Structure 1
């Protein structure tokens, strides 16, 4: 795929036209307050993985609605004091998978918490967290589940789970809450942006080729799923575009980025048709903290920087967590 989006110079200046709801902050304050009415109840059960350089804990905590959410916490075997903790969120359709697939961050001397994604984990990776909440008719996938009402939208539950995952990661005695970073790729990157906007005291945020940003542009620019799920839904449910876009505005990474209070490292790829670069730059340009940078991979699609971006993060993160 050749370049299809705005030229790089225009991307660096691009701003989204997404309209922020007047009650955006009140909506999220109410959502998180309701979630915290349930005890977090984070449980850490040591798992025998056969690995000798790390310890792995099977984690369960209460997410949205008090629903149980799973995760893995991986620590270096020898820990003398609380460690910086990297909280990672998973890409679309995936789950937490198996512990031995998550060794990078523990190998760098940090704690690593990977959150399972409710209702997902059957396309790759394997998940163990159901989503017990039903929805109105939806197009196959997750993008349109409850999409005509912000209160019932799927990503309200998932973003809330993610905030609670940070709280669960910080609850372990061998993690340092003051040195907490949120990371993720694609959907995981979009969730990391959301967490960066909803958790005020993170040390760093690193979203790679993030999804869930600038819905007005994304849904009309690309015909790839998952964004295309929204168009396919509206093709059947005619006349509901305004209501759907209003719901999505509560979950748009652009508005959450405007509340980002931590240093941030973004990445994008100029041939990415899944998460077009203009939508990523929309969130990056809105990010509120002055200490921010974006890595641009000019001839890559949605794989973005891949292991090269991991190397960049390994060099960047020690300044913060």
Structure 2
């Protein structure tokens, strides 16, 4: 049997527990924060202009007091190497921000990476752009680029576009959805979810194609529904022509098995590189959407992030009916970046040799699946997002594509963003899509 403690013991214990709790809270509140930003909120400078990185450390949300400075290690680079032209070393940060000044002699991006020596877990990075609108393609478009893709389209046209629609149950009674499979060149079909408003009249609906980032997954029913609720023919396709709605284990097995390392499959030859098949599925998906009796005949949108952003650019370059591109931190851009002395984009399709030069055969093939070259071929309006500290799809590769776009365009610059697609960018993209729909309706 348990006996309660006497009151004269319980009270002191409670008081002691309160004291310990207070002390623990006080210790937990002593929090160090590291910050690095540029002296301009937009972090954009002209080539040759001086940019300033400001490094701060706070304790419990307040600047360090008096002489209680802390040491940080910093390094500036151009996404390849720091080199002799860019500063690096150690600084003592006190009550005022410490300053690192840099400049860049050509259009591009620099980043400043900072680590708090006292707590190596604390690292921060900021980026600065120098005349980004002057970044040019690292190599010109191959002379036979259009001829190559015209040939691929002819080969695709020889495969009958046999489509299979299977109704898919979902709770929204105002729309109807289907699992769509369309035969395509190369064995893998177009595989997606199609959504549309019920009882839509002929030639009444704009169309949108949603395309996926890197990895292996099912098509997204929620995207198909989202577009349909905006009054569109809405098709979301997975990147690999895989069946939809399978278990997570199924897609995991594909990713670790037959599709492991897929971005580099066949990269030594333009005929065999994996992205040719992926882009042919884009063409067939757009052909399917535009063949539907409900399509309005004038509005065709493609939207995606990362690998999906690169696909969106490719779709616009391959099909002149595309009227709007929403491309977030686009991949598949500037494969030949190393040839111009800058970092190349995902998926690093071209091997960098020990001397820093790009591998010849891979470089030659990669130019035919470079989203920068497709961007130069589209007249579609566009919105793009870019992260100034993105190491997956470096900002220079994104701007190389953006600067080739010919239509009305806008870019969302994020100086402190890496490879990401946060909620505010998703909202901005949908808002831009809605604006485009209004503009098209008025034509």
Identify the TM-score tier after normalising by the shorter chain: 0.7 to 0.9
**Structure 2: which 5+ residue stretches go unaligned?**
1-34, 38-78, 80-108, 111-127
Tell me if structure 2 keeps the 8 A contact 1:83–1:174: yes
Equivalent in the alignment of 1:92: 214
The correspondence for 1:291, drawn from 397, 401, 408, is: 408
Equivalent in the alignment of 1:277: 395
Tell me if structure 1 keeps the 8 A contact 2:209–2:236: yes
Residue 150 in structure 1 maps to residue 270 in structure 2 = yes
The structure whose residues are more often strand, as a share, is 2
Equivalent in the alignment of 1:216: 336
Q: Deviations over 1:244-292 (max 9, x none)?
A: 01010111111111101211111111121110111000001011x2412
Structure 1 CA distance, aligned partners of 2:295 and 2:250?
26
By how many angstroms is 1:186 displaced?
0.5
Q: Which of the two has higher C-alpha Rg?
A: 2
Cα distance 1:230–1:290, how it changes in 2: closer, same or farther (>3 A)? closer
Tell me if structure 2 keeps the 8 A contact 1:141–1:229: no
Residue 107 in structure 1 maps to residue 229 in structure 2 = yes
Cα distance 1:218–1:60, how it changes in 2: closer, same or farther (>3 A)? farther
The correspondence for 2:419, drawn from 296, 299, 302, is: 302
Q: Deviations over 1:196-238 (max 9, x none)?
A: 11101212111111000111227986699x5347548x67xx9
Tell me if structure 2 keeps the 8 A contact 1:35–1:63: yes
Cα distance 1:260–1:141, how it changes in 2: closer, same or farther (>3 A)? same
Tell me if structure 2 keeps the 8 A contact 1:83–1:175: yes
Structure 2 CA distance, aligned partners of 1:53 and 1:280?
38
Equivalent in the alignment of 1:311: 427
Mapping of residues 1-321 of structure 1, within 5 Å: 5-6=109-110, 7-65=128-186, 67-77=188-198, 79-81=200-202, 82-100=204-222, 102-118=224-240, 140-217=260-337, 226-228=346-348, 230-231=350-351, 241-287=359-405, 289-304=406-421, 306-317=422-433, 318=437, 319-320=439-440
Q: SS state of the match for residue 152, structure 1?
A: coil
Structure 2 CA distance, aligned partners of 1:240 and 1:269?
25
By how many angstroms is 1:29 displaced?
0.3
By how many angstroms is 1:94 displaced?
3.3
Q: SS state of the match for residue 205, structure 1?
A: strand
Tell me if structure 2 keeps the 8 A contact 1:42–1:60: yes
Number of residues paired by the alignment?
308
Tell me if structure 1 keeps the 8 A contact 2:210–2:223: no
Structure 2 CA distance, aligned partners of 1:108 and 1:51?
13
**Structure 1: which 5+ residue stretches go unaligned?**
none
Structure 2 CA distance, aligned partners of 1:268 and 1:43?
37
Q: SS state of the match for residue 263, structure 2?
A: coil
More relative contact order, 1 or 2 (CA 8 Å, 6+ apart):
1
By how many angstroms is 1:99 displaced?
1.7
The structure whose residues are more often helix, as a share, is 1
